[in-house]
Structure 1
Amino acid sequence: MAVMSSRKPGRPSKGHRVQYKVRLPIRLKEAAAEAARAHGMTETDYVAALIAANTGLEHLAPSLNQEVLPLQKSA
């Protein structure tokens, strides 16, 4: 008989988080989205990494130096 785990499936927790809302000019938001994709990150992780890098708290955010695989173009 299999033992059921109480742990939820899915990605591991990133720890306690709070929501932080900001208003940005449209072009700045678009640039952040493009940069996040280029780094293979979510926009949230990208912005957190930028804040961490500028506050000396790099250990709290994902690395911006992730390898990015090239996108395949459709023929």
Structure 2
Amino acid sequence: MLSKEKIDRINELSQKSKVSTLTEEEKREQKVLREEYISSVRKSLKNNLLSIKIVDEEGQDVTPIKLKHAKENRKKH
């Protein structure tokens, strides 16, 4: 996950853009920080999805094959 300082900076730039205009340097910084944040969220979501096991009412594993293969590939790396 992103550091608190980076998240605070994203929020600071966002607030500033609502009140006034960002400089070109600030716009670039904001873009980089947002991309880093989105990448972090996607990575976290992917890891969460790979930890899911789906079980039906009878206790049978019904996890989709595609998800099972992704889990196996992650274990190999």
TM-score by length of 2: 0.29
Which gives a bigger RCO, structure 1 or 2 (Cα 8 Å, sep 6+)? 2
Structure with bigger gyration radius: 2
Q: Going by fraction, where is helix more abundant, 1 or 2?
A: 2
TM-score by length of 1: 0.30
